[in-house]
Amino acid sequence: MTPDERRFTAIYDACRQNVWAYAAARAGRQAADEAVSETFAIAWRRLADVPDPALPWLLGVARNVLRDGHRARVRRESSAAELSRAARPAGDIAEDVAERLAVLRAMAALPEADREVLILIAWQGLTPREAAEVVRCSPAALRVRLHRARRRLLRAAEREMAGEREPGGARRQVGIVSEEMS
């Protein structure tokens, strides 16, 4: 056994349980197993960088591994949600057009301040923080305004759709608009 192998084995034996307990507390048992494997793979590749004592360094690596895993999971879930939205079953095109027209008419009937917030978020793609800068208010105030604007848009769209065949159509269209605004 080489000196590097002996050093790595000693670090692994001394720290594995602590690294696993840290990862399990943060992300659960299954994720802990994967995080420990990845953490010690990194430790092996960067053995010259591992200080003495190794545990704080290893916990920092485990933290980064868990964070990167979380980010990757969020990206996968976001992509899956986007694909499911894009692949939603196509209904009658005339119904979709009528629903969209009802939502656009409802949008036009809203007060200018509501329209502005909805447009900044949904159509301009701004984050609430960025939109708050545009309308010169705090991000918290903008979120309240956005919530109220969405509620008013939903009510106005439901009134517009009242004569249409599909009673939940406006709610579905506004839901799609709201998802785009999030």
47: Cβ–Cβ under 8 A, 6 or more apart, which residues?
4, 7, 8
152: nearest Cα among 123, 95, 113:
113
The count of residues in the chain is: 182
How high is the pLDDT of residue 118? Answer: 87
173: nearest Cα among 78, 108, 85:
85
Over range 33-49, report the average pLDDT.
94
For the chain, give the mean pLDDT: 82
pLDDT in tens, 128-142: 888 888 888 999 999
Lowest pLDDT segment from 18-22, 135-139, 174-178: 174-178
Fold category of 93-181 in CATH: Arc Repressor Mutant, subunit A (1.10.10)
Contact 172, 96 (CB under 8 A): no
pLDDT in tens, 47-102: 999 998 899 899 989 989 988 887 777 778 777 777 766 665 656 677 777 788 88
Over range 150-178, report the average pLDDT.
66
Question: Best-predicted range by mean pLDDT among 39-43, 86-90, 111-115, 132-136?
Answer: 39-43
How high is the pLDDT of residue 165? Answer: 40
Instruction: Identify the band that residue 167 occupies on the pLDDT scale cut at 50, 70 and 90.
Output: very low
3-class state of residue 136 by DSSP: coil
Contact 157, 170 (CB under 8 A): yes
> Would you give the distance in Å from CA 151 to the centre of its chain?
22
DSSP structure class, residue 52: S
3-86 has which CATH code?
Answer: 1.10.1740
Tell whether the model's pLDDT for residue 173 goes beyond 70. Answer: no
State both tokens at 114: 């509501």
- pTM over 0.85? The answer is no
Domain ranges of the chain: 3-86, 93-181
How high is the pLDDT of residue 143? Answer: 94
H helix count then E strand count, the chain: 8, 0
Report percent pLDDT > 70 for the chain: 84
